Amino acid sequence: YQAGDFPKLVLEAKKSFASRYAVDSEYWRHFDPAKSPEVIAYLKRNLEDLANHYHALYQASETPEERMAAFTESASWYRQFLASFPEAPETPAIHYRLADLLLENEAFGPAATEYEHIAYVYPAHERSAAAGYAAIFAHRKNQERAAENQREAIRREAVESTVRFVDHFPDHEHAATVLSVAVQDLFDLREYPRA
């Protein structure tokens, strides 16, 4: 299909392969994944390709319906990759793309959660600090959008995320700036000793 330049058929074949040979599929109940590294490698590539394809489609979609369909597909393939290969070296980068997708879709609360996982759960990697900073941004955007009765709780989450960020990345170029905002939040919340 690729050689014949049939992109739609390539996409369907990738989806079929990713579903049939998913790590939790029936196939692997009968075969040892360790004895089929080429199948596992191809599965990884297909999952990443599918997630990236639908992410790009999401960004290029013109109607809300198309955007939502592409968002759902992309998020699903990203999550399948993360569930299938949690220890793979490329997993933090793939996870970062999922968090970016959520942020682009204005799902700020879930995006903050994913960025925090990327920053603090995985062993340190090149995007750890950027993920921690993005988590604070997502919390702040979530606070802006939240109903009045939820804002204080989200504000407190933003403060905790900020403190965690500054503790982990004290030399980050924005550490002092975000910490000063968190201190002002604590002051406004009448948490004077902590402020």
Separation CA 195–CA 178 (nearest Å)? 13
Output the six-digit token pair for 56: 């790009």
Largest CA distance in the chain: 68
Separation CA 13–CA 68 (nearest Å)? 22
pLDDT tens-digit map of 7-48: 888 889 899 889 888 888 888 888 888 888 999 999 999 999
User: Is the pTM above the cut of 0.75?
Assistant: yes
Separation CA 24–CA 90 (nearest Å)? 20
Please, what is the Cα angle at 79 between 48 and 164, to 5 degrees? 110
| H or E stretch at 166 | helix 148-168
Average pLDDT for 61-87 = 96
